[in-house]
Structure 1
Amino acid sequence: MKVYLVGGAVRDQLLGIADNNTEKDWIVVGSSSAEMLDLGYRQVGKDFPVFLHPGTQEEYALARLERKTSVGYKGFEFDTSNQVTLEQDLSRRDLTINAIAQEADELFDPFDGQDDLNNGILRHVSDAFNEDPVRALRVARFAARFKKFGFKVAHQTHQLMSQMVTSGEVDALTPERVFKELNKALSYETPSAFFKVLTACGAYQKVFPSLDNQAHQNHSNSFEFLDNLNTNKAHIKFSIWLKDEKRRNIKALCNTIKCPKQYQQLSELSSQFCQFAQGFTNQSSNEIFDFFIKTDALRRKDRFEDLLTVFQLLAIDIAPIKHLKDLLKDIDISKLDKLDIGKAIQIERRLIIDLFLKTTKK
């Protein structure tokens, strides 16, 4: 029985990345489920044996081979006999940079992953790459994560991704996995590469069919507005990504990929009011009153702050919006008519908006 550290932890170590979020994955060669259980590991895998270490709770998987049996990333049969070698296990992985194993200080790199790391290449290990549609998303996500290091997708890998789109393999992606990979990509500094890679191979239109794809036909220039934004909040970047989409398209997308309500609500509001906010002080009193009602600015404070952040990241001056919101929030209710307090508050807010506009336009 031998244990090797594999995948992201080895890759990031070789790249000199200190990332506490990188999980450690371990491969066990020459063992069995019975032996792992005897050693105190707890089995958690249903499709193939994965075990949690009794101390660290890190994942240990038996070395395995796989055979494609149907479409989708679950359409595989696995062989986890103790005869499976380390190289055989590494051969089924997606990219060469993720197919490096380490035991103590010794590296095992049968597919030249270190060369691809040094040359900034995202290259598939074998033609079996196109049997799992999730790999198309993962390559795009890695392109986003490592864009700052100058990584590019190998031409042959791009061709395989295009074949996955043509064959319909990409159609088997589950909503949960699409959102998971999208959300991770948006958490990086340069998420534009994720969308550009998917657009280049034709997967963008398949994965996000409800969106207006005409705007991104020239993938070499699109999506750059998402890079190096002064926020690490994925739902804010999600809203900026969709800022030019129609609300019905956003709703259809969010229903399809089953994203959290926080994402859908903020992106719909951003799409609806970005242009409005650009000319805020030129809007009518009624339009501004409706804006604060529809955004529920005074009750949903956190969401409204996120909306203002979206505006600000799009170079919109939010100072007048914030100032007016504060004026509306600080109404002295004790001085209003108590017989119909709701109506009295509305009247007072309209008076405040009218005065604000008169003062602003002087």
Structure 2
Amino acid sequence: MTQSVKLVSKDRQLYDYTPKNRQSIEVPKGKPFKSRIAYSAAHVVCDPLASNDPLSDGQIDWETTMAYRHYLWSLGLSVAEAMDTAQRGMGLNWQTAKELIRRSITEARTVGGQVASGVGTDQLQPGPSVTLDDVEKAYLEQANFVEGEGGRIILMASRALAVCAKGPEDYERVYRTVLSNVSEPVILHWLGDMFDPALKGYWGSEGVERAMDACLRIIEDNEAKVDGIKISLLDDQKEIEMRRRLPASVKMYTGDDFNYPSLIKGDEQGYSHALLGIFDAIAPAAAAAMHALDAGDMKQYDALLEKTVPLSRHIFQKPTFSYKTGVVFLAYLNGHQSHFRMIGGSESARSIQHLSDLFVMADEASLLADPDLAVERMKTTLAQAGIR
């Protein structure tokens, strides 16, 4: 029988909780998804024994980080590498991201896994001296690196471009330059300022409608070089609106960690593929749901994902950019890494009450693979907060 653990309630009281769900989610092995493309934006595991400053020079535990990617590939999920889930630009710099991308592409080849890698401009320090030429050169440096490694590109939003662009025409110029120089179609990424406040006003407007118009012009003008676009605005109606306005050849990849089940399921006019940070945390449920969708079993699809939504909304609650803490904590609870330490000390970005609620919600979604192990690790985390 699973032992109980003392958790912290919203009114700061302690209460006993015993995990109730002992049946793990089964995922069919060796069957690729047919009806949707599903990327999991994967987190990185820091090296807790490295003798360095974790705030300015975070080191990665390469063996455990690659093992987690193999776990995702074993479930049939594709990996979106070196994105914000991997603390890109929030602890993970370009030099380390290059090594992460190189290793991930190499490992993917050994198992036939799919990986697409983030390309940005984070080797530039945003500021008044940065020009559009600088942004283009930075994008192309990273794009050339990824394609040189034989990888696919996810063209991430640029903080430097957000600072130096004067209006939509500057975004059109930069994206035209970059897209004309890539070999294969890329996935664009529209990341809302709830994920990164430095991207406020991206595409040249703080209004979503005008920003969408500018983004769509870029896609239409460069259609042959755009595989799709991932939008992370946490607004399902805006995603549906844009999805319906995309050229027929361009895919929508949902980045909506609040409304992903309905967006992936779609409607009579279309659907979204997935490129989600939450798919790192709910990988078994996500993979099993994709198989259910392939089989046309909407009841099973709904059952698998409906209980993950409260968990996802909890993990991605404001401040949204701290969601990485919950993703890594769940990986720790499930034994994918031996510690709950993060680059830049980000394990402290969520409260012990937040982590207590996450534990319960993960159990309710059948996402604690080994409840006994999860209880022991939850107790260790609680003990660090003086709770025994």
On whether the aligned pair clears a TM of 0.5, the verdict is no
Which protein shows a greater Rg?
Answer: 1
TM-score (norm 1): 0.31
**Larger helix percent:** 1
